[in-house]
Structure 1
Amino acid sequence: MSGAEKVRELRERLDEVLASLPPKLRQEALSHISYANEMGNSRSNERLEFLGDAVLHLCVGSILFDAYPDASEGDLTRMRAHLVSGSALSALALRGGLGRHLKLGRGEASSGGRSKPRVLAGAFEALVGALYVHKGFQECMKFVREAVFPEGELTVPVDSKTLLQELVQEEGGSVEYTVVEVSGPDHMPRYTVACLVNGREVSRGQGGSKKEAEEDAAKGFLASREAL
């Protein structure tokens, strides 16, 4: 299936889910807090977003658990974190055209709210929450398989740098890497790199290139987080 076909299929599936919801529940799922505040008598999608976040974690975790029988708890956690990250969910919502359905306050709409990652990710979670309320867990599992794992694709990028970047960005932080030492002969250098989260050094890594050393540093910090 081509990329364009996948986008079209995702849009059709999202539209089907929205059409299947009772009108009141659909309106709640699509109502951003800015719209609810402006209208005064409308519920925002924040409660459904909370529920959908939990359902997504369970659905994706269950799928990964079955797909990767030899993966460690840490590996499964990192893969799930990638798949349910704000950037991943907002990308799904954007490709699925969810933004065009959203009910936004005038200020939010005029400032580009229909394409803001945080708004889109929250709306996707709210949609899953609404589907769970209306049709239950099995329908949510079916939808998540189709939306998050199209054609049964279970290839998940698990490099530590990408995962750390997404985890920190989810918390509104930043990640930087800086070379602190280069040793060895010119034809075989050995790089030592420091990983800084929000400006604070959290780990160091080594490798035959800056890229390898950065990956090693990110992996070391993720491992230390798992040990907590």
Structure 2
Amino acid sequence: MTGTLDPATREWLEQQGLAPVREATWLEALTHGSFNGSGPADAADYQRLEFLGDRVLGLSVAAWLFRAGDAPEGRLSQRLNALVSGATCARIARSIGLPVHIRLGKQARDDGGADSDKILGDVMEALIGACFIEHGFDAAQALIYRLWARELEGDEGKAKHPKSALQEWAAGNRRATPVYEVTDRSGPDHAARFTVRVTVRNVGHAEATATSKSEAERLAAKAFLEAFG
């Protein structure tokens, strides 16, 4: 890959304890596919490192949850899914100041790509993958435990998922199964926004908008329970 790390980005990576060795690894982790339209033709994007980082994150969080108590498999899975979700990864990314260091094409940046939960979550996982490649599993796991400390020690994922709670509410009240439908999709693929409506026949409906369909469904179910539950 051509190009070098911006001095401010290198300093930021070092502040995060990531200590770049091979610049190409970190350039790849921070490069969105759109950058190839305005940068070097051979610039690799973050997708391969994201794939790797996702697995390192999942294993690290699963190991922490297993050691933290004797919760049954279902509860462990519920917390794991919440802790490694794109929304959580994006929240961590914002907390460490990642958005300004992502290499985006001009159009993607103008469209708000640097604040997209999808892109931020993916790049956060790519950085974990880069840390694993350069410094090994123990260093990547230590990074995760440090950045995710508040989420791991807090209540993230302990409450029942709103979609599950709504499903149980409908069954318990002898109502029809909730129906979810996308009523609107706007924005480019890298900064899409979805509006979802959930309806329970003979009760009512609620809507919510988010940067992913699954998050919009979660928020819509939550809004329905708050209105009718």
Q: TM-score range by the shorter chain?
A: 0.5 to 0.7
Which residue is equivalent to 1:52? Answer: 53
Within 2, Cα distance between the matches of 1:150 and 1:13?
21
User: Separation in 2 of the partners of 1:160 and 1:86?
Assistant: 18
Contact 1:21/1:134 (8 A) holds in 2:
yes
In the alignment, structure 1 residue 198 sits paired with structure 2 residue 199: no
Trace 1:57-206 onto structure 2 (pairs within 5 A).
Answer: 57-68=58-69, 70-150=70-150, 153-162=153-162, 164=163, 191-192=173-174, 194-196=176-178, 198-199=180-181
In structure 1, distance between residues paired with 2:86 and 2:120: 9
The count of residues paired between Structure 1 and Structure 2 equals: 176
- What amino acid is the match of 1:42? A
**Residues 170 and 177 of structure 2 are in contact (CA less than 8 Å); yes or no, is this contact kept in structure 1?**
no
The 1:77–1:21 alpha-carbon spacing in structure 2 relative to 1, beyond 3 Å, is farther
SS in 2 for 1:156: coil
Identical-pair percentage? 30
- How big is the shift at 1:177? 7.0
Displacement of 1:201 in angstroms is 8.7
The SS at the match of 1:41 is coil
Runs of 5+ unmatched residues, structure 2: 1-11, 182-197, 201-221
Distance 1:156 1:192, change over 3 A: same
Unaligned runs of 5+ in 1: 1-11, 166-174, 182-189, 203-210, 216-228
- Counterpart Cα distance in 2 of 1:138 and 1:83: 19
Q: Are the structure 2 counterparts of residues 74 and 201 from structure 1 closer, same or farther at C-alpha, using a change threshold of 3 Å?
A: farther
* Runs of 4+ that moved beyond 4 A: 175-181, 190-195, 199-202
Q: How much is the aligned-residue C-alpha RMSD, in angstroms?
A: 3.4
Q: 1:147/1:14 Cα in 2 relative to 1: closer, same or farther (>3 Å)? A: farther
Give the structure 2 partner of residue 42 of structure 1: 43
